[in-house]
């Protein structure tokens, strides 16, 4: 509309065949949009088309063709002038055309002439489409003209929608039509208002997400959550940060988009900008406390399910607002998981309370969850340990009771529950393979069996896993006994070098059988997240007997403790911490977007931009070299610190 107004009355331009169609189109864009976008005024033709596409004035594919055609025509004209030695626009003879074609890389003059004519015709038609007055009373959802439900116009609108990335143009056009015929029709002076006036580029940006059709449907739901005084299209037009947040949250986040669109508090916080920076789990729980107990256990479990999923979405949205770092999001989410697991355990334990039977059941977090960090899509690695003894002797009743309680906790954590329009989802997935005996072992182990397993039966990998064992909840006396027992096991004199060799051998076999096939599979990548944590665990095992304070389940704190103890060079510690934060950021964005391997299907523009932001680079193309750099540096530290290789020894490349 801005372009059409600026050149209204210029119909005579259609009768001026001597004007270059591409130059005319570039001039029109500069004239119409230069007042609002300074970059248009002195930009090259290619930049004009690319910028027009970015703000939604021209489709991306159209802009790419126009830019390419513009450069071809410019080159052809310049080389013709070089041949003639004077300013000319077109070849005047067959021999001159043949020479011009040849110098432009075409051996067939007729083909060259056809290509030039096609390029000129496309530019001319785009210019006509822009300045031609509307012949219909309606609107075109993408900025052209539209009729009153006439089939040709609808087909064109739907075609444009599909051209910019939507799968079902008809469905999307209907949704948008309802926006502008509904309560947003009068958001400006005239009811028949084009969407490009309300929110320029909105559909273009949604079309550049991974799930554009679903994003439009979710945006339709989001509009219903807003206060009637909010003018969403005006807000999105004026606030690019908000627009980016809404588009990415709805179109690029597999696990949280539905929650965001259907939760009034989240939508209100996004549009009002009322959220605050929070970087600790304790602060988060204070700001968004766990639901109070009420009603029957099932009601409480349903409330917990809604709360934890809402906070998954809230964490993602808060990061997009720049109020929390991605690596801190994992720490916060682990704290939320602790709160939920503890609440489920306590509700069920109260129902099964029998003080005469045993000394209680404790829940231990293991793996990355034990380390106090959890991505939004990760399972909880849990081990159940109980004390079967009464005052006199072990009680068979206690064994049965705590085994049943452990099974009930697992069942309630993993049971799918209805959650709005999402369907049925569990609180968490749970993995129990860290228990003694692995998946073939008992669901819950007595404290004696648990500790003896690590003394006499556990392999090197299981022993190393104790570095990430962390009590979540349980009777204080039992928790203390478990912690003391673990401390005794890990500080016992042992052949640390032999254990480390066994661990390296197991890791090598894992990589051979199930190594990374993509550089984005950072947990299986040589030098990736798993290898970095392996370095830290091995150093804890090696130096812990002399420096017990390095035994902490948090890998970041462990790195700092090892450095403070003189077991790690300060520069190496900084590099390990830097890479740990980097891997955690990538793992967090994978959890929010649901895209583990972008190489499996190249990400669209908006997702690529989101992944680049998480990786700390401007362009997505720069992400993979940076991943490779972190992996190779971590692998070098692994070779030197764990395998004892010199710094100059040949290294295996990442992946």
The per-residue pLDDT for range 275-287, each reduced to its tens digit, is 788 889 999 999 9
What is the pLDDT, as a whole number, of residue 153?
Answer: 43
Is residue 323 scored above 50 in pLDDT? yes
Q: Which residue has the higher pLDDT, 221 or 89?
A: 221
Residue 30 pLDDT grade (very low, low, confident, very high; cuts 50, 70, 90):
low
Using 50, 70 and 90 to split pLDDT, how confident is the model at 354? low
pLDDT at residue 199 greater than cutoff 60: no
Give pLDDT, residue 554.
95
Q: Which residues of 536-546 are buried (b: 16+ CB within 10 A; e: fewer)?
A: bbbbbbbbbee
- Residue 130 has a pLDDT of 60
- Please give the average per-residue pLDDT across 401-419, as a whole number: 95
- Binned at pLDDT 50, 70 and 90, residue 627 comes out as very high
The whole-angstrom separation of Cα 265 and Cα 492 is 52
Residue 137 pLDDT: 31
Instruction: Indicate if the pLDDT at residue 60 is higher than 80.
Output: no
Residue for token digits 């930009």?
43
pLDDT of residue 307: 96
Is residue 401 over pLDDT 60?
Answer: yes
Q: How confident is the model at residue 190 (pLDDT cuts 50, 70, 90)?
A: very low
Which range among 42-46, 75-79, 127-131, 240-244 has the greatest average pLDDT? 240-244
pLDDT value at position 391?
66
What b-and-e string marks burial along 243-260, b requiring 16 or more CB atoms within 10 Å of the CB?
bbbbbbbbbbbbbbbbbb
Which position has the higher pLDDT, 192 or 52? 52
Predicted confidence (pLDDT) per residue in 632-650, tens digit: 999 999 999 988 876 555 4
- pLDDT of residue 580 exceeding 90: yes
The number of beta carbons lying within 10 Å of the beta carbon of residue 111 is: 11
Q: What pairs with residue 431 in β-bridges?
A: 381
Report the pLDDT value the prediction gives residue 138, as an integer from 0 to 100: 32
Highest mean pLDDT among 71-75, 286-290, 437-441: 286-290
The overall average pLDDT reported for the chain is 82
Q: Which two tokens stand for residue 82?
A: 């070089």
Looking up tokens 């007729």 gives: 110
Residue 152 pLDDT more than 50? no
pLDDT, greater one: 140 or 340: 340
The first and second tokens of residue 177, run together, are 């039509």
pLDDT band at 191 (very low <50, low <70, confident <90, very high): very low
Instruction: Find the mean pLDDT for residues 482-488.
Output: 92
Least confident of 181-195, 381-395, 398-412, 450-464: 181-195
Q: Which pLDDT belongs to residue 186?
A: 53
Residue 561 pLDDT grade (very low, low, confident, very high; cuts 50, 70, 90): very high
CA distance 27 to 257: 41
User: What gap in Å lies between CA 464 and CA 461, rounded to an integer?
Assistant: 5
Q: Cα separations (Å) of 518 from 196, 628, 636?
A: 40, 11, 20
The top-scoring range by mean pLDDT among 183-197, 382-396, 448-462, 579-593 is: 579-593
Query: pLDDT tens, 517-530?
Result: 889 999 989 999 99
pLDDT value at position 47?
77
Query: What mean pLDDT do residues 449-453 have?
Result: 91
Query: What pLDDT, on the 0 to 100 scale, is given for residue 80?
Result: 77
Average pLDDT rounded to a whole number, residues 348-370 = 84
The first and second tokens of residue 289, run together, are 């406390």
Can you read off the two tokens belonging to residue 328?
């801190």
Span 439-458, mean pLDDT? 88
Rounded percentage of the chain residues whose pLDDT exceeds 90: 44
**How far is it, in rounded angstroms, from Cα 169 to Cα 175?**
10
pLDDT above 70: percentage of residues in the chain: 82
> Which tokens sit at 280?
């600790």
Q: Check residues 122 and 483 and name the one with the higher pLDDT.
A: 483
The model's pTM? 0.74
Q: Answer for the pair 100, 90: CB distance below 8 angstroms, yes or no.
A: no
**Cα separation, 629 vs 443, whole angstroms:** 42
105-112 long-range contacts, CB within 8 A, separation 24+: 112/76
What secondary structure letter does DSSP report for 297?
H
Report the range of poorest mean pLDDT among 133-142, 201-210, 229-238: 133-142
The residue ranking higher by pLDDT, 362 or 234, is 362
User: What integer is the mean pLDDT of 585-591?
Assistant: 95
């Amino acid at each position: 509309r801005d372009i059409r107004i600026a050149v209204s009355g210029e119909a005579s331009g259609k009768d001026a065949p001597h004007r270059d169609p591409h130059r005319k189109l570039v001039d029109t864009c500069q004239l119409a949009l230069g007042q609002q976008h300074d970059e248009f005024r002195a930009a090259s033709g290619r930049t004009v088309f690319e910028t027009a596409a970015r703000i939604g004035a021209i489709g991306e594919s159209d802009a790419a063709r126009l830019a390419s055609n513009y450069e071809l025509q410019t080159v052809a004209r310049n080389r013709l002038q070089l041949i003639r030695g004077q300013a000319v626009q077109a070849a005047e003879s067959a021999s001159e055309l043949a020479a011009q074609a040849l110098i432009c890389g075409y051996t067939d003059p007729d083909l060259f002439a056809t290509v030039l004519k096609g390029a000129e015709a496309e530019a001319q038609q785009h210019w006509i489409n822009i300045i031609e007055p509307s012949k219909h009373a309606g609107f075109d959802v993408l900025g052209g003209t539209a009729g009153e439900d006439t089939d040709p116009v609808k087909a064109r609108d739907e075609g444009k929608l599909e051209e910019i990335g939507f799968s079902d143009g008809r469905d999307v056009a209907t949704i948008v039509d309802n926006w502008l015929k509904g309560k947003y029709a009068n958001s400006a002076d005239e009811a028949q208002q084009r969407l490009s006036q309300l929110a320029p580029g909105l559909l273009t940006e949604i079309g550049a997400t991974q799930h554009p059709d679903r994003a439009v449907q979710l945006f339709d739901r989001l509009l219903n959550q807003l206060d009637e005084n909010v003018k969403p299209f005006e807000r999105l037009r004026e606030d690019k940060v908000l627009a980016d947040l809404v588009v990415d949250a709805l179109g690029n986040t597999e696990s949280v988009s539905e929650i965001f669109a259907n939760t009034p508090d989240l939508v209100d916080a996004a549009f009002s900008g009322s959220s605050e920076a929070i970087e600790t789990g304790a602060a988060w729980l204070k700001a968004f406390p766990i639901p109070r107990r009420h009603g029957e256990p099932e009601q409480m479990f349903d409330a917990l399910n809604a709360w934890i999923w809402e906070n998954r979405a809230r964490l993602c949205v808060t990061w997009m607002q720049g109020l929390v770092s991605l690596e801190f999001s994992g720490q916060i989410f682990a704290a939320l998981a602790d709160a939920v697991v503890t609440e489920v355990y306590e509700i069920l334990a109260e129902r099964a309370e029998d003080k005469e039977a045993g000394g209680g059941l404790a829940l231990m977090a293991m793996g990355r969850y034990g380390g106090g960090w959890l991505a939004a899509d990760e399972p909880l690695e849990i081990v159940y340990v109980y004390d079967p003894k009464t005052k006199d002797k072990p009680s068979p009743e206690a064994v049965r009771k705590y085994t049943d309680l452990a099974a009930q906790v697992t069942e309630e954590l993993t049971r799918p529950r209805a959650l709005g329009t999402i369907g049925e989802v569990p609180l968490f997935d749970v993995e129990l393979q860290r228990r003694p005996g692995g998946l073939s072992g008992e669901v819950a182990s007595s404290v004696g069996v648990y500790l003896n397993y690590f003394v006499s039966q556990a392999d090197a990998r299981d022993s190393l896993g104790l570095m990430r064992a962390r009590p979540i909840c349980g009777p204080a006396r039992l928790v203390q006994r478990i912690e003391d027992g673990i401390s005794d096991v890990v500080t016992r004199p042992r052949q640390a070098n032999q254990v480390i060799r066994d661990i390296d051998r197991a890791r090598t076999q894992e990589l051979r059988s199930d190594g990374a096939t993509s550089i984005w599979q950072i947990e299986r990548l040589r030098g990736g997240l798993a290898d970095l944590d392996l370095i830290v665990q091995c150093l804890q095992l090696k130096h812990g007997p002399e420096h017990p304070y390095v035994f902490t389940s948090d890998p970041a704190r462990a790195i700092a403790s090892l450095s403070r103890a003189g077991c790690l060079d300060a520069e190496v510690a900084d590099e390990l911490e830097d890479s740990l934060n980097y891997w955690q950021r990538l793992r967090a964005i994978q959890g929010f977007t649901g895209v583990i391997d972008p190489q499996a299907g190249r990400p669209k523009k908006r997702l690529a931009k989101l992944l680049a932001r998480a990786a700390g680079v401007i362009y997505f193309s720069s992400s993979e070299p940076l991943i490779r750099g972190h992996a190779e540096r971590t692998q070098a530290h692994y070779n030197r610190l764990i395998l004892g290789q010199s710094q100059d020894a040949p290294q295996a490349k990442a992946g």
